[in-house]
Structure 1
Amino acid sequence: MLKKTIAISVMIVLLFVSAVACGKSDGNKAAAPDASGNQGSGKAVKLRLGHITGESDAWHKGALKFAELVKEKSNGTVEVEVYPSSTLGNDRDLIEGMQLGSVDFALVAGVLSNFYEPFSILELPYLFRDQDHMEKVLYGDIGTKLKADLLTNAQVRGLDFWVRGPRELTANKKIEKVEDLKGLKIRVPEIPASIAAWKAMGASPTPMAFGEVYSSLQTGVIDAQENPFALIASNKIQEVQSHLMLTNHVYGYVLLTMSDITYQKLSPDQQKAVEEAAKEATTFENDLVAKQEVELLDSLKKDGMEVVELDTAPFMEKAKTVHGEFAQKYGQELYDSIMNVK
């Protein structure tokens, strides 16, 4: 009788332990679909967005708008903290951080070509006829395919392209013709297409992280740099450069990107909130850039920069001598499709 009682007691204890273990195991599984069929718990998360520009730049204001919209659309379950001025690193650091999952979002542009080479073609000086041509490319089938291919090849998710003003040349002397570029030490991003084109135009391009540009101009390590009005003004390049040449050599973009590691951790509702916020923030930023272009040029003039309008045709002719090489290397079909957009 005693043996039977002990056996029954042991069975009860084993059943209790088994039930507790099952309960713990279930707690570690992914949350069951909610009433709408969505997976994921939708728990509140804080994410980080980095970029290289200052707080007065349209990128930063667009990023803050994006953060506001994400919080609103996710009902407060996703908060985005914005880190300007290369706080989280330069462009390359930000992209590598997204690949590792240590950075959640970033605003990046040409350096993407180091992670998915066909983006090099977008960086070719005098590729786009004008701003309208660029927007038709980026917001059409070509831009959609580039974002999909970036995800496949670099595990970085392109949310949306933001437009920026055209890149212009600054220096401490007046440059009126392409021959004036001879031997000019000009800072360029770490982008092969940009380096090759400036060499073809006669300059001596020096690849450098943007965070080093101001001090390098100040100390004479470099003579010149090229960027849109917004980056020139927000980083006070006018304090160390006297002349602004309206070369309009690159009609550029910045891509709002997201770590795919981070994206996959969000619930479907949170993913949708991020994607919708990206679209609305794009409209906000693009409108802001268009408004600021006139204001920024006026501001740079008031700060003492001499603005030089020049005939860009000779610059274009030299720069285009490298187009064929990059088209052949990184995608003739992509290059031709861009050229054929009307």
Structure 2
Amino acid sequence: MKNKKFIGLITSLLFATTILVACSQEDEDVAEADKGTKVEEPKITLRLADNQPADYPTVIGDQKFAELVNEKSDGRITIEVFPAGQLGDEKSVLEQVQLGAIDFARINASPLAEFNDDFTVFSVPYLFNSDDHLWNFLNGEKGTALLDGLQEAKMQGLAYYDSGSRSFYSTKPLTSIGDLKGQKIRVQQSEINIKLMEALGASATPMPYGEVFSALQTGIIDGAENNLPSFDSSNHYQEAKYLIMDHHTRVPEVLLMSKTAWEKLSAEDQKLIKQAALDSVETQRQAWADYEEKSLKTLNDAGVTITEVEDISPWQETVKPIVDEFSKNYPELVDAINSASP
């Protein structure tokens, strides 16, 4: 009887061991299967707004940025670019970015001064001596700090894009600083622009950009100021045959993201997007250089008299009170700019 019980006990133990071994092996098989199966992260689609045409240098930069993000994320993150103001004008797009309704936008630096006073620096005349000077500053510590400083306005700056420099053009001879005296020059509505024209002896005439061509035709204004591609694409050169390349301001473009959308991203994706934005700058700057070269040819072929200012110091001396006034309020920023000079 005892032997039967012993045999029964042994049999039960062997059966239980077999069950345990089988379960353990099954668990190992599942674990091995899990190792080979990577959990797929959800795909993300984001929107980027630009008010310029599809072939404009900033949009070329936008497209490169979108392409790089798609590549770096292995197709997981898609950025749809909407050029030509499809999502609204610059002001309404900015509002939508702040609300999180639009994920990205390419915005000129000038209106960003409304959200961060330091961006006013780009409107100060003759503060940057050259493109190299500007980009040394933008790529430096203070330039990066400006981008991050937009967070308080619910935006995250990512990178700067090129927008050249602004110069004066007129229907009247304009080959020296003295020629500006008495001329009526259209400027963007701002206190600093009006002070600039007063310092140069001209009369500031703020008006909407769309009215400039007819105002040149009718003599309401003598001239205006802008970058080369805008002077070309607006056809203002058909009326204003004199251009003086004084490069009085160098205002970059800014590629930025809604802080709402930014904070939804993982730290890894934030790093990926930031790097893609920085990597797209080279493509955008080359597109801008090509665009300027094309515009310059158009102007030369049209018989525009183009004067390049070789010595900017007399212009800088003339507007020194404006620069000094700004410098008093932003000493650290101006010091950083002066230190960035090549």
Q: Shared fold by TM > 0.5? A: yes
Structure 1 residues 210, 131: CA separation in 2 closer, same or farther (over 3 Å shift)? same
- Correspondences of 1:201-212 after superposition (within 5 Å): 201-208=200-207, 210=209
Flag structure 1 segments of 5+ consecutive residues without an equivalent: 1-34
Aligned to 1:246: 245
Deviation at 1:124, TM superposition (A): 0.9
Structure 1 residues 88, 220: CA separation in 2 closer, same or farther (over 3 Å shift)? farther
* Distance (Å, rounded) in 1 between the aligned partners of 2:211 and 2:102: 22
The count of aligned residue pairs is 301
CA contact (8 A) 1:111 1:191 kept: no
Q: Deviations over 1:284-308 (max 9, x none)?
A: 1123333443343122211342213
Aligned to 1:112: 112
Q: Deviations over 1:168-214 (max 9, x none)?
A: 21221221233332343333334443332223212233445545544
Aligned to 1:169: 168
Moved more, 118-127 or 246-255: 246-255
* Distance (Å, rounded) in 2 between the aligned partners of 1:121 and 1:100: 26
Structure 1 residues 274, 207: CA separation in 2 closer, same or farther (over 3 Å shift)? farther
State the one-letter code of the partner of 1:293.
E
* Distance (Å, rounded) in 2 between the aligned partners of 1:253 and 1:87: 22
Structure 1 residues 79, 221: CA separation in 2 closer, same or farther (over 3 Å shift)? farther
* Distance (Å, rounded) in 2 between the aligned partners of 1:58 and 1:304: 25
* Distance (Å, rounded) in 1 between the aligned partners of 2:198 and 2:175: 17
CA contact (8 A) 1:175 1:245 kept: yes
| Greater C-alpha Rg | 2
Deviation at 1:271, TM superposition (A): 3.0
State the one-letter code of the partner of 1:307.
I
Aligned to 1:271: 270
* Distance (Å, rounded) in 2 between the aligned partners of 1:320 and 1:89: 38
Moved more, 203-212 or 119-128: 203-212
Partner-residue secondary structure (3-state), 1:187: strand
- Correspondences of 1:128-277 after superposition (within 5 Å): 128-152=128-152, 154-208=153-207, 210=209, 213-214=212-213, 217=216, 222-277=221-276
Q: CA RMSD in A?
A: 2.8
* Distance (Å, rounded) in 1 between the aligned partners of 2:212 and 2:196: 20
Aligned to 1:32: none
Partner-residue secondary structure (3-state), 1:246: strand
Deviation at 1:139, TM superposition (A): 0.2
Aligned to 2:315: 315
Structure 1 residues 101, 296: CA separation in 2 closer, same or farther (over 3 Å shift)? same
Deviation at 1:323, TM superposition (A): 0.7
Structure 1 residues 235, 54: CA separation in 2 closer, same or farther (over 3 Å shift)? farther
State the one-letter code of the partner of 1:131.
D
Moved more, 184-193 or 258-267: 184-193
Partner-residue secondary structure (3-state), 1:150: helix
Deviation at 1:44, TM superposition (A): 2.7
Deviation at 1:264, TM superposition (A): 2.1
Partner-residue secondary structure (3-state), 2:319: helix
* Distance (Å, rounded) in 2 between the aligned partners of 1:270 and 1:143: 23
Deviation at 1:138, TM superposition (A): 0.7
Q: Percent identity?
A: 34
Aligned to 2:19: none
Aligned to 2:288: 289
Structure 1 residues 174, 253: CA separation in 2 closer, same or farther (over 3 Å shift)? same
Partner-residue secondary structure (3-state), 1:118: helix
Partner-residue secondary structure (3-state), 1:194: helix
Deviation at 1:232, TM superposition (A): 2.3
Structure 1 residues 292, 243: CA separation in 2 closer, same or farther (over 3 Å shift)? same
Structure 1 residues 219, 99: CA separation in 2 closer, same or farther (over 3 Å shift)? farther
Q: Deviations over 1:26-65 (max 9, x none)?
A: xxxxxxxxx9xxxx964332413223x3334211221222
Aligned to 1:326: 326
Partner-residue secondary structure (3-state), 1:165: coil
Partner-residue secondary structure (3-state), 2:60: helix
State the one-letter code of the partner of 1:151.
Q
**TM-score of the two chains, using structure 2 as the length reference:** 0.77
Structure 1 residues 106, 216: CA separation in 2 closer, same or farther (over 3 Å shift)? farther
State the one-letter code of the partner of 2:282.
T
CA contact (8 A) 1:188 1:226 kept: yes
**TM-score of the two chains, using structure 1 as the length reference:** 0.77
Flag structure 2 segments of 5+ consecutive residues without an equivalent: 1-34
Deviation at 1:128, TM superposition (A): 1.0
State the one-letter code of the partner of 2:340.
V
